[in-house]
């Protein structure tokens, strides 16, 4: 996993694709919310947001 992240960072730096960083961060945050809320009482709240 760390190799993938390092390679992704090198790609973004080499190709000047810095705009991808906020997109990736938002996707990771949403993914974390879905994983955390999947088995808890926060599920209905998350589903109403999206």
Q: What is the pLDDT of residue 39?
A: 67
d(CA 18, CA 11): 10
Q: What is the pLDDT of residue 14?
A: 92
Domain chopping of the chain, boundaries? 1-49
0.85 surpassed by pTM: no
Q: What is the pLDDT along the chain (50 residues), one digit of tens a residue?
A: 789 888 988 998 999 888 888 998 999 888 887 777 776 676 677 677 77
Q: What is the pLDDT of residue 20?
A: 87
């Amino acid at each position: 996993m760390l190799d993938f992240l390092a390679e992704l960072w090198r790609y973004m730096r080499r190709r000047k694709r810095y705009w991808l960083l906020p997109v990736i961060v938002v996707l990771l945050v949403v993914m974390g919310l879905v994983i955390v809320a999947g088995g808890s009482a926060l599920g209905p709240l998350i589903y109403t947001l999206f």
